[in-house]
Amino acid sequence: MLISRPRHALSTYFGLTFALSIPFWVLGAVSQLQLLPSLPVSALMIVAPVTAALIFVYGEKKGAGVWAQLKRAFDYQFVQDKRWYVPTILLMPGMMLLSFVVLRMMGVALPNPHVSLRTALILFALFFITAIGEELGWMGYAIDPLQARYGALGGALLLGAVWAIWHFIPLLSVSRSPAWIAWWSLGTVANRVIITWLYNNTGKSVFITILFHAMINVTWQLFPINGSYYDPRVTGFISAAVAVVVVIGWGPRTLVRNRDILVSITRNVEARQ
């Protein structure tokens, strides 16, 4: 059975996440510091989703629940079909490569990419750690009750909208235009649908969602030059197209078409309760 929480509990969770983010938004507005190119210091708000989740989990299940929640960051043992690592790791590089090709075809003077393995590995380690802060909250706490209430697609769309809006202030702090943010939001919501698809087909593994989230940020930073040529109009459309294929191919209700996987999901959820 899926985890069920009162409607107000999720609203309060999202509200607390936003409230915990405010000091980082203020810091970003005051300092104008950037952790990486186009990544403002306000990005440190990544601690907010997991902090809010742990506060609520402690209230529900005390210390044992907190420890169980933290362990979900490395719940790779729930991934029964290892083939799901292929889209988890390669889908974002593939979409970014396609975005590069499309931009070249549109006549954009993109410089040739220069990808250092050392740089890629450092970025991956950094973004894996930061993704833990988000996904232990978004997917480890919020998505299951959303899916129980609205279905997989509905829950993913709602969570994706919250995820996108949560980024608006940091994006504005690095002078992104409203049009840029709108296209980026399309891709962000679509990516949450893809993340939910991966999550549901891997026994509800948060580890898988962390991997995919890390790949989103790594491929953005490796896009020429440090993401400065990244165009959310193209990438957002590609992400949306992939999400549509996923919904059509796997169905909007569960985003899973294998009955055995559904049984595995149920067992994994019950094991965590």
Q: Which residue has the higher pLDDT, 219 or 5?
A: 219
235 part of a folded domain: yes
pLDDT digits (tens, 9 = 90+) for 106-162: 999 999 888 889 999 999 999 999 999 999 999 999 999 999 999 999 999 999 999
Residue 1 in any domain: the answer is no
Q: CA nearest 145: which of 235, 154, 114, 267?
A: 154
Domain count, the chain: 1
Instruction: Name the helix (H) or strand (E) containing 205.
Output: none
Beta-ladder partners of 34: 40
Q: What is the pLDDT of residue 2?
A: 43
Is 149 among the domain residues? yes
CA distances from residue 97 to 46, 91, 130, 162 in whole angstroms, order as listed: 27, 10, 24, 27
43/8: higher pLDDT? 43
Residue 117 structural domain: 7-272
The residue assigned the tokens 């994706």 is: 160
Rounded-to-integer distance, Cα 58 and Cα 139, Å? 17
pLDDT tens string 199-238: 999 999 999 999 999 999 999 999 998 888 999 999 999 9
What local confidence, expressed as pLDDT, does residue 6 receive?
58
133 within some domain? yes
Residue 34 maps to a domain: yes
More confident residue, 88 or 115: 88
Residue 2 belongs to some domain of the structure: no
